[in-house]
Copies of this chain bind each other. A is one copy, B any other.
Amino acid sequence: MEPAAEVYFDEMIQKNLSPEQLRQFNKIHYGREDHNEVKLKETTAVSASEKNNFQVQAYAFAAAKEETRNPRILKIGLVQHSIVLPTNKPANEQREAIFKKIGELIDIAASEGVQILCLQEAWSSPFFLCTGEKKQWDEFIESPTNGPSTKFLAPLAKKYGMVIISPIFERDDSGVMWNTAVVIDDTGTFLGKHRKNHLPSIGSFSEAGYYEPGNTGHAVFETRYAKFAINICYGRHQALNWLMFGLNGAEVVFNPAATIAEFGESFWGIEARNAAVANSYFTAGVNRVGSESFTVIKDDEEKKICRTYYGSSYVTAPNGCRTPSLSRVKDGLLMAELDLNLCRQVKDHWGFGMTARLDMYANELKNKIGYT
């Protein structure tokens, strides 16, 4: 029997239901009338994924035709990947090995026409926060404008005309650390950054000892392809975080994450999806994958820490329709063609924005917390 961690949820369902049952499942559970799968270019995506043993999947979300607006098709890509080298190797070696893997994935994404690519939380380093230690991880904390991750990605962004969202550990000019998503635009230029708004302290795991909650508000990035925002990891649990990105005009909100099964895997599939429905925009959750082992020395004793991320990246449309998840255990590239016209169409249809009564809530919230 396969161990629990190996189960690929969507595959299990697909294998065990009849075609008619699967249609029902997709309709009731995922809001899909069919799979909307997009054929990948045989010569690039498929052969490369077979060679490198990673998943490549692509889906499309259509919108109704409009009279005064042409379809606004955006192709996004999400990359989930494991680290490559053991966490006790020199930082530069670890990073270079990840760069090599990601470079190949970006080449494939480009060949498939991806316009905005989002990498997972802290994509270019091990997620060392679980150790509670600092000194030995300093080398992974970077400048958002000219650190190694930005320097690696900027030429690729320019080469492919691709906007890239690069979540890293930031060290600012005053030497203070942040959990930050850097946005590199399609000309390879640093466009801006968003700092993680909400920080977890769960059991023995705490980010609050590393950095403060973000101070960049709810920035929406205007790019050539779309207006989007980034809700980093734990911020997906906060409805108001999602709401503000929407009020500020985001058409897509990316949720790069680093989350393990014990931290709420059963609601990974509902939070970003619920946010898409509530705010009439697309959401894209991209989670780390694979296991990361650390040796921590505490009170002269060596302690092993191992954390396994469950991947399962997925995209949801404003009408609640979602893609299947990427694998729980494999590296992968999930692509989705979004007709951004769907945002306004759904917002007008359901009326969740129109009926939101935000004036009432601003007042109630202000009174509740004694804010004046």
Q: In the assembly, what is the distance between CA of A362 and CA of B302, in Å? A: 46
The contact of A349 among B20, B203, B240, B363, by CB within 8 Å, is B203
Interface residue? A27 (CB, 8 A)? yes
B31 near A218 (CB under 8 angstroms)?
A: no
Q: Which residues of B contact A366 (CB under 8 A)?
A: 362, 366
A244 near B364 (CB under 8 angstroms)?
A: yes
Q: In the assembly, what is the distance between CA of A18 and CA of B278, in Å? A: 35
Query: Which single residue of chain B is at the shortest CB-CB distance from A363?
Result: B371
Q: In the assembly, what is the distance between CA of A203 and CA of B350, in Å? A: 9
* Known contacts A17-B12, A366-B366; A240 and B361 CB within 8 A of each other: yes
The contact of A266 among B16, B28, B217, B244, by CB within 8 Å, is B28
Q: In the assembly, what is the distance between CA of A218 and CA of B243, in Å? A: 19
A361 near B356 (CB under 8 angstroms)?
A: no
Q: In the assembly, what is the distance between CA of A268 and CA of B203, in Å? A: 31
| 0/1 interface trace, chain A 335-372, chain B, CB 8 Å (1 if under) | 00000000000000111101111110111111011010
The contact of A12 among B12, B25, B240, B362, by CB within 8 Å, is B25
Q: Which residues of B contact A361 (CB under 8 A)?
A: 240, 244, 365
B243 near A240 (CB under 8 angstroms)?
A: yes
A351 near B200 (CB under 8 angstroms)?
A: yes
A242 near B244 (CB under 8 angstroms)?
A: no
Q: Which residues of B contact A29 (CB under 8 A)?
A: 9, 266, 269
Query: Which single residue of chain B is at the shortest CB-CB distance from A239?
Result: B239
Q: Which residues of B contact A247 (CB under 8 A)?
A: 365, 368
Q: In the assembly, what is the distance between CA of A369 and CA of B364, in Å? A: 14
Query: Which single residue of chain B is at the shortest CB-CB distance from A213?
Result: B357
Query: Which single residue of chain B is at the shortest CB-CB distance from A355?
Result: B198
A28 near B265 (CB under 8 angstroms)?
A: yes
Most chain B beta-carbon neighbours within 10 Å: one of A16, A361, A371:
A361
Please tell me how many copies of the chain the complex holds.
2
Q: A28-B266, A200-B355 given; name 5 further pairs at CB < 8 Å.
A: A247-B365, A266-B320, A266-B321, A271-B278, A358-B369
Q: Which residues of B contact A24 (CB under 8 A)?
A: 4, 7, 9, 12
CB distance from A361 to the nearest CB of B (A): 4
* Known contacts A12-B21, A28-B7, A267-B320; A197 and B349 CB within 8 A of each other: no
Query: Which single residue of chain B is at the shortest CB-CB distance from A217?
Result: B364
CB distance from A254 to the nearest CB of B (A): 19
Q: Which residues of B contact A349 (CB under 8 A)?
A: 202-203
Q: Which 10 A-B pairs have the closest CB atoms?
A: A31-B266, A239-B239, A274-B274, A267-B320, A270-B270, A240-B361, A362-B365, A362-B371, A16-B16, A198-B355
| 0/1 interface trace, chain A 247-271, chain B, CB 8 Å (1 if under) | 1100000000000000011110111
CB distance from A147 to the nearest CB of B (A): 27
CB under 8 Å from chain B, chain A span 311-349: 320-321, 349
Query: Which single residue of chain B is at the shortest CB-CB distance from A312?
Result: B28
CB distance from A326 to the nearest CB of B (A): 14
Q: In the assembly, what is the distance between CA of A221 and CA of B199, in Å? A: 32
The contact of A239 among B28, B198, B240, by CB within 8 Å, is B240
Interface residue? A211 (CB, 8 A)? no
Interface residue? A64 (CB, 8 A)? no
Most chain B beta-carbon neighbours within 10 Å: one of A28, A29, A247, A271:
A28
B21 near A1 (CB under 8 angstroms)?
A: no
Interface residue? A92 (CB, 8 A)? no
